[in-house]
Amino acid sequence: MAKATAYISYGRLIVNGKSVLNFRKIGSFVGMVLRYLILIGISYVILYPLIVKFSSSIMTRTDIWDPSVLIIPKYPSWNNYKLALRFMEYPIAFWNSFKLAFSVSLLQLISCTLVGYGFARYRFFGNGFWFALVIFSLVIPPELILIPLYLNFRFFDLYGLMPLLAKISIFSKLPAEGFNLLGSAWPFILPAIFASGFRNGLYIYIMRQIFKGAPRELEEAAYVDGAGPFRTFFRVVLPGSVYGLVVVFLFSFVWMWNDFNLTSFYWPKGKLLPIMLNDLSRNVLGDQYLHAPVEASLVNNAGSFLLILPLLLIYAFLQRYFVESIERTGLVG
């Protein structure tokens, strides 16, 4: 009788000349299971609050105190949404928020793209210095300049120019102490035009990296054909970097749409969604809102969902750009 042989070679257990076990296959199978377990676990962490938020937004009081109800309410109702829609003045607030976020992010996109291109393609004197200032503007805490900016927008006189201008006859109608720009969209629009709004340093950085990674040959061809720098930029460079533009626009739109920090400071009475949401439970419940945490929470959840719903829809449409952009543009240089 032949002796039974068993040995391991190339990751296989071989008994009597036959491969019985393939360790590599087992290993990759275990790896796959582990990977899915981890991914699903993390997805659960991300999605769970969303699910709870949504389910409790369609709950009623009885469901909350019913211990058998965890996620799916027994008496679902849209009542919280009706309240939230009415007291947030949703259509008006939505339109105002949209106008603000859209115009600000469009302006930021234009200015940051131009600036990013300048940094990426032209070796002008002081390039490194100005780019260091871009990073500086990103690093300083907004609180540091918030107060002076607040005062400047409250008494906006073009940094001392206006009193001088007012002496000239055509401008004599200008108020000498300056305009009050608070309570309007101007404190957001003006910095956006000049690429110095909230986190604009990040957008400049992203656009610069994108243009640096793009091939120069197309632009050189355009120059040879007689196009000037601006024509080249708009006709040749921009169409080639659509993915990057979408990502920057999406970032900037989302941050402006959700922003409560600056809007509550510059425009506290504005009918914008984050501000209306912050006051929602107080408006719905009147003076009682502190003593009725359940009702407040229910209606707040509905309101929060109404705030992020448009973003979720936009993300659903643009996620292809978002997820793929990394591969196409090479955000990193």
Q: Pick out residues in 2-31 that bind other proteins (CB under 8 A).
A: none
Query: Strands 12-15 and 18-22: what pairing?
Result: antiparallel
Contact code string over 198-217 relative to other proteins, x by CB under 8 A = --x---x-------------
Site pattern 97..126 for other proteins (x: CB under 8 A): --------------x--xx-xxx-xxxxx-
**Cβ closest to other proteins, residue 17 vs residue 41:** 41
Nearer to other proteins, 5 or 159 (CB): 159
Distance CA 193, CA 186 (A): 10
Phi-psi region of 227 (alpha: psi -120 to 50; beta: other; left: phi over 0): beta
Taking the least distance from each CB to other proteins, the nearer of 17 and 228 is: 228
By CB under 8 A, the count of residues binding other proteins is: 93
Residue 91 CB, nearest approach to other proteins (Å): 19
Q: Which is nearer to other proteins, 14 or 114 (CB)?
A: 114
The answer for residues whose C-beta is within 8 angstroms of residue 278's C-beta and 6 or more apart is: 260, 264
Quick one: which of 270, 98, 93 has its CA closest to 183? 270
The dihedral through the CA atoms of 221, 223, 229, 235 has a sign that is negative
User: 4 or 144: whose CB is closer to other proteins?
Assistant: 144
Instruction: From residue 289, give the alpha-carbon distance in Å to each of 81, 86, 216, 276, 297.
Output: 17, 17, 61, 15, 10
Helix (H, G, I), strand (E, B) or coil at 20: strand
C-beta of 15 vs 52, nearer to other proteins: 52
For the bound state, the minimum distance from the C-beta of residue 168 to other proteins, rounded and expressed in Å, comes to: 21
Binding mask 291-330 for other proteins (x = CB under 8 A): --xx-xxx-x---x--xx--xx--x---x--xx--xx-xx
Residues 209-268 that bind other proteins (CB under 8 A): 229, 250-251, 254, 258-261
> Near other proteins by CB under 8 A, which window of 2-10, 85-93, 95-103, 289-297?
289-297
Q: What are the structure tokens assigned to 293, written together?
A: 């945490």
Radius of gyration of the chain (CA): 29
Q: How far is the CB of 224 from other proteins (least distance, A)?
A: 15
129: contact with other proteins by CB under 8 A: no
If binding is defined by CB under 8 A, does position 55 make contact with other proteins?
no
CA 161/CA 168 separation, integer angstroms: 11
Please tell me whether residue 139 adopts helix, strand or coil conformation.
helix
CB of 176 to other proteins, least distance (A): 9
Nearby residues of 283 by Cβ (< 8 Å), 6 or more positions away: 87
Which position among 274, 283, 285, 321 is part of the footprint of other proteins (CB under 8 A)? 274
The answer to the question of residue 45 lying near other proteins (CB under 8 A) is yes
Contacts (CB under 8 A) with other proteins, residues 133-192: 133-134, 136-149, 151-152, 155, 159, 177-178, 190-191
What are the distances in angstroms from CA 326 to CA 184, 193, 318, 320, 331? 36, 27, 13, 11, 6
Distance CA 118, CA 130 (A): 11
Q: Which CB atom, from 20 or from 193, has the smaller least distance to other proteins? A: 193
Question: 8: which strand partners?
Answer: 13
